[in-house]
Amino acid sequence: MPHAEKIESVLRHQTNWKNLWFYQKTVVLYQMTYVFTRRFLASYGDRTVDQMVQAARSGKQNIVEGTADGVTSMEMELKLLNVARSSVQELQEDYEDYIISHKLERWCEGHPRYSDMLDYCRNHNHLRDFEPYFEKWTDEEAANIAITLCHLVDKMMTSYQKKKNDEFITEGGIRERMTAARLGYRTNQKDTIEKMKSEIEQLKKENEQLKAIIESLKKDKI
C-alpha cells in the first residue's frame, strides 16, 4: 500500500531517551538533588529546596516529553529540550550559589580533585555509579560534582540540539513532510492514471483488430 507507506514516513521514529547520555545524567542529578536538599537544606525552611528539586525534575522530564513529541513535531521537541537545558542551567546556578553562600571551595581546573572528578562524571552516566555516595559526600563534594554534571549535560544537549536544528532546516517540520508526502502520492496517482490510459488505448486497438478479423471471417463464410 504505497499511500499508507507515505503517510507513515511523515512520522519520525521516536528517539529512545533512556539511551541518551545527557538524559541518564539528569536522572542522577534529580535523585542527587533530592538527597542533597534533604541533607543540607531542609532545616533552612526556604524555597530553595523546592526550586532545586523542581529544576532537576524539569530538566529530566522535558527531555522525555521533547523526544516523545519529536515523532510529530521537531519544533516542539526543540522547544522542550531548550526548557530542559534552561532548567539544568538554573540548577547549576543554585549549586554555585550554595558554595558561595556557605563559603565552600569551588573545584576548578588546578584543584587537586578536579581532574578525577571530571573524568568520573564524564565517563559515568548511570544512577548506580553515583547513588552509593549520596549519603557519604560532604556538601562541598556533592555540590561540585552536581555542578560538573550540570555543565556536562549542558554541553551535550547543546550538541544534540544543533544536530536536531540542522535536521529541522533540511527536512522541515511535519507540515513540510506532509506536503511532500501528498505531492509524492499525487505524483504516483498521476503516473498510475497515465499508465492506465495507455493500457486502455492498447486494448482499444486490440479490440478493433479483433473486430476486423471477425468481419473478415463473416465475409469468407458468405
Residue type, 73: S
Q: How high is the pLDDT of residue 149?
A: 98
What's the total number of domains in the chain? Answer: 2
Tens of pLDDT along the chain (222 residues)? 444 444 445 455 667 889 999 999 999 999 999 999 999 997 656 788 999 999 999 999 999 988 887 677 778 888 999 999 999 999 999 999 999 999 999 999 999 999 999 999 999 999 999 999 999 999 999 999 999 999 999 999 999 989 888 877 776 555 555 555 455 545 556 666 677 777 777 777 777 777 777 667 666 665
Backbone phi and psi for residue 91, each to the nearest 5 degrees, phi listed first:
-65, -40
15 & 40 share domain: yes
Q: In terms of C-beta density within 10 A (0-12 exposed, 13-18 middle, 19 or more buried), how is residue 21 classed? A: middle
Instruction: Decide if 111 contacts 166 (C-beta within 8 A).
Output: no
39 & 108 share domain: yes
Domain boundary among 135, 152, 172: 172
Cell of 206: 486490440
153 & 73 share domain: yes
Full domain range(s) for residue 50: 2-172
Provide the residue count of the chain: 222
162 & 189 share domain: no
Neighbours of 19 (CB within 10 A): 8
DSSP 8-state assignment for residue 108? -
82 & 186 share domain: no
28 & 58 share domain: yes
Instruction: List the alpha helices (DSSP H) in 70-173.
Output: 74-101, 114-123, 139-171
Cell of 112: 587537586
Q: Is the pTM of this model over 0.75?
A: no
